[in-house]
Amino acid sequence: MSVNPVVLGVDSSTQSCKVEVRELASGRLLARGSAPHPPAFPPNSEQHPRAWITAFVDAARDALRRCADPVQVRALAVAAQCHGLVLLGNDGQPLRPAKLWNDTTGAPNLARLTATIGADAWLRRIGSTPTAAFTIAKVAWIAEHEPATLDRAATMLLPHDYLTFWLTGAAVTDRSDASGTGYFDSVPGEWLPEYLTLAGGDRDWVAMLPEVLGPCQVAGRVRPVALADLGLDGSDILVAAGGGDQHAAYLGLGLTDGDQYIGIGTSGVIATSSRAPVYDGSGMIDGVCDLTGGYLPLVSTLNAARVGDVAARLLGTDHTGLADLALAAGDARGPVLVPFLDGERKPDRPDARGALADVTSHTTREEVARAFVEGPLLSLMSGRDQLSRCGITLDGVTAVVGGGARSPATLQLLADLLDDEVLVFDADEATARGACIQAAAVAARTDVAGLVDLAKSWQPAVRQRVSPRARTRDVTALRNRWAELAASPILDSGVSA
């Protein structure tokens, strides 16, 4: 019986691990599997890396079991949540749970580092103004609160690096994920150990850091122990460099420079790609790298889909009911939500709290629902404005991904705010799809140009198009009111738990 050559794409997100099996020759989806991660919430947001392995194994076996015909895995790639800190001992085992991107406990440490290095100097060196989400803040927190753990650390990895390490035994990373650490200069492609010395003291940081691979370089081959755990056959399964989750999703949708990528999941993201680095003195834009040798300037917010969870609970409904209520609100002005419920990272306000303003005795339940759906979108529109102010062209298609893409209210209100068409591609797992594309490029031994061509040839069809509604509501006034409220220092009066 013939076997079908395939690739695996892995998306290890904050909430779960998802694995896709795609035909190597065509990119056709054959099966998909998933498994949950332990819940984690700010300010002290942690997960043990071994839980990621368990979920990865379960999701991969689930996906492979769902394949209708026999398959032979030729290559795989891992994309994962960014910024998290994984510390390994000399035996290659994690020394403690990983601090995740939305762990804000390192905010005071980050503030001290910024005062020492200088915000502008740091920005000019790495392309971003670090926030508490960046890995270096977590390094500094560990150095202050658990110095003995840092003393025992032999290797320091990011979440996707750890899964690649488990697969291959190689300590490697890629430009996209390295550029979100706070200690990597993407232009020359160099680690900055001097910043780590400021964060965690004088030690041999270079020996602890992974090798940074290019987009089409091979990280290694799947080790026998990982083959056995995953239920894979063969001794020559290639593992690609992998990357950050949003970066892989952009590749998975086949997007190019000027296209607008809007992710509405645990976090909110608005991004586009660029061939040149972007430096934003305001600190809103992270000038991180993409998966094709270029850059992916983006604004990433902390509060996105979970704002809808809160709204549904407060209003005594579910997500479908929330969407129905929000769409029924009509064009009345209504209240405005600043959704900094768990602090915020863009803008960098880890101790901020949310605010619902302009409530009157005539405010309806529908208008409150609309405010909660609209609040995270207004945050992203503020980020979009900053991308434009930095000279970034945003004239391509607008693609929405993540859990928010399943909400008709989110899509409609976003189209209304943009006054432009919004697209949802037929790609439920854009990140896993992007990882599959990178794996296929590695299997084909192609270069970056071949990777870009492959992404375009595998670009998914458009599943849904949402056009803006004719309206009398003053969107400009709404956005100005939101900006006024969001700038208020009173939102920072909350105290982190």
Q: Does 368 fall in a domain?
A: yes
Distance in angstroms (rounded) separating the CA atoms of residues 238 and 74 = 6
One domain, residues 315 and 218: no
One domain, residues 259 and 228: no
SS3 19: strand
One domain, residues 8 and 81: yes
Please spell the DSSP secondary structure of 218-278, one letter per residue. Answer: EEEE--HHHHHHHT---S--EEE--EEHHHHHHHHTT--TT-EEEEESSSEEEE--BSS--
Residue whose entry in the numeric block shows the structure tokens 């690609």: 240
Q: Does 432 fall in a domain?
A: no
Residue whose entry in the numeric block shows the structure tokens 């909400």: 407
Q: Does 128 fall in a domain?
A: yes
Full residue range of the structural domain in which residue 214 is found = 4-246
266 vs 148, which has greater pLDDT? 148
Distance in angstroms (rounded) separating the CA atoms of residues 136 and 428 = 32
Closest by CA to 114, choosing from 216, 188, 195, 6, is 195
pLDDT of amino acid 496: 43
One domain, residues 189 and 290: no
Give me the catalytic one of 103, 161, 177, 245.
245
Q: Does 452 fall in a domain?
A: no
pLDDT in tens, 416-440: 999 999 999 999 889 999 999 999 9
One domain, residues 341 and 202: no
Task: Give the CA count within 13 Å in the CB-facing half-sphere of 193.
Answer: 10
Residue ending a domain, among 213, 228, 246, is 246
3-state helix, strand, coil in the chain (%, to 5): 40, 20, 40
One domain, residues 240 and 279: no
Residue 202 is a catalytic residue: no
342 vs 143, which has greater pLDDT? 143
Q: Does 449 fall in a domain?
A: no
Q: What is the mean pLDDT of residues 259-286?
A: 92
pLDDT of amino acid 403: 87
**Chain centroid to CA 231: how far?**
29
Q: Does 443 fall in a domain?
A: no
One domain, residues 183 and 234: yes
**Has this prediction a pTM greater than 0.85?**
yes
One domain, residues 211 and 352: no
* Counts of helices then strands in the chain (DSSP H, E): 18, 24
> Average pLDDT of the chain?
95
For Cα atoms 299, 196, 83, give the angle at the middle one, nearest 5 degrees.
35
Q: Above 70 in pLDDT, residue 245?
A: yes
Which CA distances in Å does 98 have to 77, 87, 121?
A: 21, 7, 28
pLDDT in tens, 347-358: 989 889 999 999
One domain, residues 177 and 309: no
**Chain centroid to CA 174: how far?**
15
**Chain centroid to CA 69: how far?**
33
pLDDT of amino acid 334: 95
pLDDT in tens, 65-122: 999 999 999 999 999 999 999 999 999 999 999 999 999 899 999 999 999 999 999 9
One domain, residues 237 and 259: no
Residue ending a domain, among 203, 230, 246, is 246
Residue ending a domain, among 228, 246, 264, is 246
CATH classification at residue 14: 3.30.420.40
DSSP state of 92: S
Q: Does 436 fall in a domain?
A: no
One domain, residues 304 and 366: yes
Q: Does 440 fall in a domain?
A: no
Backbone torsions φ then ψ of 173, nearest 5 degrees: -145, -170
Q: What is the mean pLDDT of residues 194-202?
A: 98
pLDDT of amino acid 423: 97
SS3 497: coil
Give residue 176's pLDDT band: very low, low, confident or very high (50, 70, 90): very high
One domain, residues 196 and 53: yes
Quote the number of domains for the chain.
Answer: 2
